[in-house]
Amino acid sequence: MRWLAALLVVAAIGPWDMKLFPGTVVPDASGQARLVYAASPFGVAVTADGHARYDIQVTASGLPKPSTLGSYTAYVAWQASPDLSHWTRLGTVTNGKTTVGSADLNKFLFVITAEASPTPSTRQGPTVLHGTSPSGWLQSFLTHPLFRGNAQ
């Protein structure tokens, strides 16, 4: 049934949108992130090694002032590789609509944390919102018995 829930999320928000789920420190926060092609004189932006680059537009609500969570001053968006070995700071997030920067991984986790500075070099604070890139959604389907040919 997990695959059905993922399918319903895709149908409800679209193939370029990521539903953002709240972390435990701000359970009333909500959000959505949309992937849009980054600016390029060639129509589609790519990295030097051929990966597509997308700007991420975040719409968030229910985020309290970061200082209410501790010694934090900003909410910061990150892209992380699926195995969490590589994190890249994208930009700051506020309630409302914000474009945070460009993601260039095919599959990635999108995480918003509370941080002591708007420009930290590493992630330190608690997760307030998180989601998975649309290309990462398919990974869960591959382990389902239906796609291995032995569903009952």
Q: Which of 13, 124, 139 is nearest to 76 (CA)?
A: 124
User: Is CATH 2.60.40 correct for 2-137?
Assistant: yes
Can you tell me which residue has the tokens 């608690």?
Answer: 126
Q: What is the pLDDT of residue 76?
A: 97
Q: Which residues of 49-73 are buried (b: 16+ CB within 10 A; e: fewer)?
A: eeebbbbbbbbbeebeebeebeebe
What one-letter code names the amino acid at 105? L
Rg for the chain, CA atoms, rounded: 16
What sections of the chain are H helices per DSSP? 2-13, 134-142, 145-148
pLDDT tens by residue, the chain, 152 residues: 544 454 444 444 455 788 999 999 999 999 999 988 877 777 777 777 877 788 899 999 999 999 999 999 999 999 998 888 899 999 999 999 999 988 888 888 899 999 999 999 999 999 999 998 877 666 554 554 544 444 44
- Other CB atoms within a 10 A radius of the CB of residue 78 amount to 24
Q: Which of 82, 85, 92 is nearest to 113 (CA)?
A: 92
Enter the DSSP assignment of 111: E
Q: What is the pLDDT of residue 90?
A: 96
Is the pTM of the predicted complex or chain greater than 0.85? no
Phi then psi for residue 141, to 5 deg, are -70, -35
Domain ranges of the chain: 2-137
- Helices vs strands, H then E, count in the chain: 3, 8
